[in-house]
Amino acid sequence: MNPAILAIVVIFTPLVAFATAMLFCMKAHRIAQGLILGGGAVSVVGAFLLLLGGPSETQSIVWLSSGSLELSFGFMFDGLSLSFGAVVALITFLVQVYSIGYMHHDPAKTRYFALLGLFGWAMLGFVYAVDLLQALIFWELVGLASFFLIGFWYEKPSASAAARKAFLLTRIGDTGLLIGILLIINISGMAHIPALLDAETGLTTMVSEGTLTLLVLLIFMGIMGKSAQFPLHTWLPDAMEGPTPVSALLHSATMVAAGVFLFARLHPLFMASETAILVVLCIAIFTALMSATIAMVETDLKKVLAYSSIGQLAFMLAALAAGGLLAGILHLILHAVFKALLFLCAGSYIHHFETNDMREIGRRGGRRMRWTTAGLVIGGASLAGLPPLAGFFSKEEVLASLSHGGYHLIWFLALFAAFLTAYYTFRMVFFIILPDRPLEADATVHDSSPVILGPIIFLTIATVLGGLILGPLAAILLLDVPHHSLLSMLPAILCALAGVFVAWWDFGRSRATRRGFVGAVPVLHRLFSRKWYVDDVYQAVFARFIQLMATVLHRVEVDLLDGGADRLADVTRWTGGWTARLQSGWVQAYIASGVVVVALAGYFLGSR
Amino acid sequence: MSLSAFLLVSLVLFSAGLVAIMSRRNLVTILVGIELMLNAASINFMAFNYYTAVDPVVGQIIVLVIIGLAAAEVAIFLSILMVLYRARHDVDVEEIREIRG
C-alpha cells in the first residue's frame, strides 16, 4: 500500500475518533471509549505496517506557496519517524486500554478518552511531519492536548494551576522555537526538513557558523520547554496533577519526547555548531544532576518518576549532542517503554490506595499487588540501568557516546547521575516492597483488574526484551551498531550496582535509618527538598514582577479609564440636571422668552 | 385716515393681547388674548394692502388664511380646554405644570 495513504490513516484516525466522540457521544461513554480505542488500534496496526514496509521516499504536497517560498505538507518515512511513530501509537494504545480500568468511575470519561485521541493525533502528526511549520503546528497541538489532560480534573485548583504552568512554561520555549523557524524560513527560503538537512545544499552551507548557532539555540529553547530541561523544567513535576495514565503518556512517548525527537530530527544542524553542542551538553548534564538530587528526597511516587523523566530526557539530549544519534533515539524509545511501565504501575498503586506517598503505599501492603510490584521492580531496574534490561542497553549507549565524543568530564558527571538514578529508583522500590513496619494481615489488598494489568504485563515483557531492538533500530536508521567491550561497560554497571547497594543500605536493610545519606547534610537536604529553589526564584522574580505590573495596570484601568468615563458621565448628568430646571412648566415664562427672542431677532435683522 | 392710524390701532390691539397672555392665568382669557393678536396682525395686513400693495389680492388671501387658522385654532383650543376642565376642574395655567423638569 502507498505509505502516504497509510500514514494518513495512522495519523487521522485518532482525530476522527476524537471529533466523533466529542460531538456525538458526550453521554454515551461506552461508545466513545470504543471509538477511541478502535482509532488507537487502527493507528497501531498502521504504524507497524509502515515500520515493516521499511524506509521509503518522503511524500509531500505543496500546501502554501508565496513568491519563492513553498510550504509543504507531507510525511517522512525515514527510520526515525517509522520507529518512533510505532512506539507512539503502541504506547498511546496501551494507555487507552489501561484507562478503561483506571478511569472506570469518572463521570467525564468521554472527554478524557476523546482528549487521548486528540493527543495521539497531535503526536503522530508531529512525528511524521515533513515541514518545519507543519511540525510546529502539531508540536503546539501536543502542548494543547497535554494542557487539557493535565487540567482534566479542572475543579481542583492545583490541577488547573498545573495545566496553566505547563502551558506557559512550554510557551516560553515555543516563542524561541517559532522565532528560530521563522528565521530559518527567512534565511533559506524553505522549511522542508530533508532539504534543510541536506549536506550539500542545506542550511549548513548557507549561513555562517555564528548564525547557525543562533538558529539552533532558538530551536533548542523550544526543546528545553517541551522536554523539561533546566530552567524550564518546573512544569513537569506539577503536571502530575493529571490522571496517572496521562502522566504515563506525557512522560514516555508524547509531549516530553517531542523535544528530544525534534533534536534528533534536526541532528545534523546541531552537529554543525560547536557552541550549540556545548550549551546543550552543559544544560543537559546540569538538569540530569539536579533532577536526580531532587528525586532523592521526594516522597511522592509520581514526582520521583517525574524527576527521573527529566533526568533521562537530559541523558538523551546529552547523547544526541555528543553525536550519538543511535544512543539518543534508542534511549528515547526504550525509556518510553519502561517509563510508561513505571507510571502504569504507580497508577495501579494509586488507584488502589488512593495516595501518592510511597511510604504509605509500602506500609499498607503495596507489595501484595504482585503483578504490579513485579512491573515496578523490573521497570525500576531498567531505569537504574541494570543488565540485561532495556534501560541498561540504552544508558550504556548514552554513556559510550559521551566518552567517544571526548567529553570526559560530562561522561564522569553522567556516570554520577546514573549512580544517583539507581539510588533514588531503588529507594522508591525499597519503600514499597520493604516497608519500615511489618504489614498487618489485611485481606483487602488485591491486585488491579486485568484491563489494568494487561498493559503492565505487556510493557514488563517489552522492558525485559527491549535491548533486542538495538540491531534492527540501527539498521532502519542506517547507522552502524557500535561494539563495546565488557570493560567499557564496567563503570556503568558498577555505578548502577553501587546505587542499588547504597539504596539498600539506606532504605532496605532491617536496621536502615530510612533518611538517606543526604539527610546527614541538612543544607543539601533542604536545597534538594525545596527543588533547588527554582520555583521560589520564579515566584519571587517573575511572578512578583508580573503581579506588580498587573496591579499597576489594574489601577490604570480602574482610575484612569473607568474613572475618566465615570467623570465624563458625572459632568453630563450634572449639566443635564441644571438645564432641566429651565423646563419650569410655567407657560408664561415660555411665552415671554419667545417674545424676547423674536424681538431681539427683529431688532438685529432690522438694523442690518 | 392715514396708514399710521390703522397701524396704531393694530399696535394697541396686539399689545392688549400680549398683556392678556402674559398676565392672566385663566386659559379662556389667554385664548381671547391670542385672538386679539391674530386680529391685530390681520388689520396690519389689510392696512398695508390698501395703501401700499401693487396687487391687493395677495393681502386679502393671507387675511382669509389667518381667519381660517384662527377658527381652527379656537376649535382645538376649546376642546383641549374642555378635556382639561373635566380632568382637573381647573383651567389655571399656573396649576398645570406636570412636565416641569
Q: Quote ipTM for the complex.
A: 0.79
At a CB cut-off of 8 Å and minimum separation 6, what does A225 contact? A169, A170, A171, A172, A173, A174, A176, A177, A232, A259
A399-409: pLDDT as tens digits: 888 888 778 88
Are B22 and A585 in contact (CB < 8 Å)?
no
Closest CA to A279 of A310, A317, A327, A234: A317
Whole-angstrom CA distances from A30 to A36, A96, A404 are: 10, 13, 53
Are B99 and A587 in contact (CB < 8 Å)?
no
Domain positions in chain A: 273-518, 537-607
Percentage of chain A beyond pLDDT 90 is 7
Least confident of A114-128, A235-249, A414-428, A477-491: A477-491
Identify from B31, B97, B98 which residue to disrupt to test chain A contact, counting A C-beta atoms within 10 A and taking the largest count.
B97
A343-397: pLDDT as tens digits: 888 888 888 888 888 888 887 877 788 888 888 888 888 888 887 888 888 888 8
User: What is the rounded distance in angstroms from the CA atom of residue A307 to the CA atom of residue A486?
Assistant: 30
Cα-Cα-Cα-Cα dihedral sign, residues B92, B95, B97, B98: negative
User: What is the rounded distance in angstroms from the CA atom of residue A73 to the CA atom of residue A64?
Assistant: 9
Query: Between A182 and A361, whose confidence is greater?
Result: A182
Average pLDDT over residues A455-478: 84
At a CB cut-off of 8 Å and minimum separation 6, what does A524 contact? A293, A518
Bridge partners, residue A65, by sequence: A70
Residue A1 has pLDDT above 70, yes or no: no
Q: Which residue does chain A place closest to B23, by CA atoms?
A: A588
Residue A475: the pLDDT is: 80
Average pLDDT over residues A157-163: 86
Alpha-carbon distance B34 to nearest alpha carbon in chain A (angstroms): 12
CB contacts of A576 in chain B (<8 Å) are none
Identify the DSSP state of B26: B
Identify the DSSP state of A198: -
CB contacts of A587 in chain B (<8 Å) are 93, 96
Residue type, A267: H
Q: Which residue does chain A place closest to B98, by CA atoms?
A: A585
Residue B6: the pLDDT is: 92
Q: How many CB atoms lie within 10 A of CB B84?
A: 14
CB contacts of B26 in chain A (<8 Å) are none
CB contacts of A595 in chain B (<8 Å) are 18
Are residues A131 and A72 in contact, defined by beta-carbon separation less than 8 angstroms? yes
Q: Is A354 left (phi over 0), alpha (psi -120 to 50) or beta?
A: left
Closest CA to A142 of A127, A131, A154, A152: A127
Apex A292 CA angle, A123 and A328, nearest 5: 45
Apex A87 CA angle, A472 and A427, nearest 5: 100
Q: Which residue does chain B place closest to A592, by CA atoms?
A: B22
User: What is the rounded distance in angstroms from the CA atom of residue A19 to the CA atom of residue A39?
Assistant: 11
Least confident of A5-19, A321-335, A431-445, B57-71: A431-445
Task: Cell numbers for A513, please give them.
Answer: 535509618
Are A580 and B96 in contact (CB < 8 Å)?
no
Closest CA to A123 of A149, A87, A70: A87
Are A588 and B101 in contact (CB < 8 Å)?
no
Identify from A573, A578, A586, A587 which residue to disrupt to test chain B contact, counting B C-beta atoms within 10 A and taking the largest count.
A587
Residue A483 has pLDDT above 80, yes or no: no
Query: Between A57 and B37, whose confidence is greater?
Result: B37
User: What is the rounded distance in angstroms from the CA atom of residue A371 to the CA atom of residue A103?
Assistant: 20
Closest CA to A149 of A203, A193, A187, A113: A113
User: What is the rounded distance in angstroms from the CA atom of residue A461 to the CA atom of residue B77?
Assistant: 106
Average pLDDT over residues A589-600: 90
Identify the DSSP state of A45: H
Task: Cell numbers for A522, please give them.
Answer: 541538612
Are B100 and A591 in contact (CB < 8 Å)?
no
Interface residues of B toward A, Cβ cutoff 8 Å, are: 18, 21-23, 93-94, 96-101
Q: The cell 511540525 sits on which residue?
A: A135
Task: Cell numbers for B63, please give them.
Answer: 387675511
B26-74: pLDDT as tens digits: 889 999 999 999 999 999 999 998 888 888 888 899 999 999 999 999 9
CB contacts of A584 in chain B (<8 Å) are 97, 100-101
Return the half-sphere exposure (C-beta side, CA atoms, 13 A cut-off) of residue A340.
39
Q: Which residue does chain A place closest to B30, by CA atoms?
A: A588
The segment with the largest mean pLDDT, out of A49-63, A387-401, A417-431, A502-516, is A417-431
Cα-Cα-Cα-Cα dihedral sign, residues A416, A224, A529, A384: negative
Average pLDDT over residues A249-261: 86
Average pLDDT over residues A261-270: 88
Are residues A425 and A380 in contact, defined by beta-carbon separation less than 8 angstroms? yes
Q: Which residue does chain B place closest to A589, by CA atoms?
A: B22
User: What is the rounded distance in angstroms from the CA atom of residue B13 to the CA atom of residue A603?
Assistant: 21
User: What is the rounded distance in angstroms from the CA atom of residue A317 to the CA atom of residue A258?
Assistant: 12
Are B101 and A587 in contact (CB < 8 Å)?
no
Least confident of A66-70, A177-181, A277-281: A66-70
Residue A439 has pLDDT above 80, yes or no: no
Average pLDDT over residues A419-443: 80
End-to-end CA distance of chain B: 51
Q: How many CB atoms lie within 10 A of CB A73?
A: 15
Are residues A275 and A343 in contact, defined by beta-carbon separation less than 8 angstroms? no
Burial bucket for residue B52 (CB in 10 Å: 0-12, 13-18, 19+): exposed
Least confident of A71-75, A389-393, A445-449: A445-449
Average pLDDT over residues A565-571: 94
Residue A440: the pLDDT is: 67
| Assigned CATH class of B3-88 | mainly alpha
Average pLDDT over residues A159-175: 87
Residue B72: the pLDDT is: 95
At a CB cut-off of 8 Å and minimum separation 6, what does A271 contact? A277, A323
Q: Which residue does chain B place closest to A576, by CA atoms?
A: B101
Are B97 and A592 in contact (CB < 8 Å)?
no
CB contacts of A585 in chain B (<8 Å) are 96-101
- Omega cis (within 30) before A243: no
Q: Which residue does chain A place closest to B97, by CA atoms?
A: A585
Task: Cell numbers for B84, please give them.
Answer: 382639561
CB contacts of B22 in chain A (<8 Å) are 588, 591-592
Are A588 and B22 in contact (CB < 8 Å)?
yes
Residue A61: its H or E element: strand A59-66
Query: Between B5 and A59, whose confidence is greater?
Result: B5
Residue B36: the pLDDT is: 94
Average pLDDT over residues A42-68: 84
Task: Cell numbers for B14, please give them.
Answer: 396686539
Identify the DSSP state of A520: G
CB pairs under 8 A between A and B: 29
Residue A71: its H or E element: strand A69-75
Average pLDDT over residues A253-270: 87
Domain positions in chain B: 3-88
Identify the DSSP state of A340: H
Alpha-carbon distance B99 to nearest alpha carbon in chain A (angstroms): 6
Are B97 and A588 in contact (CB < 8 Å)?
no
Residue A602: the pLDDT is: 92
Q: What is the mean pLDDT of chain A?
A: 85
Identify from A578, A591, A598 which residue to disrupt to test chain B contact, counting B C-beta atoms within 10 A and taking the largest count.
A591
Least confident of A266-270, A554-558, B89-93: B89-93
CA dihedral A378, A380, A382, A388 (to 10 degrees): -50
Residue type, A102: Y
Least confident of A64-68, A318-322, A429-433, A564-568: A64-68
Residue A574: the pLDDT is: 94
Average pLDDT over residues A24-35: 81
Return the half-sphere exposure (C-beta side, CA atoms, 13 A cut-off) of residue A404.
20
Task: Cell numbers for A10, please give them.
Answer: 495512522
Whole-angstrom CA distances from A130 to A111, A120, A197, A198, B93 are: 30, 18, 12, 14, 90
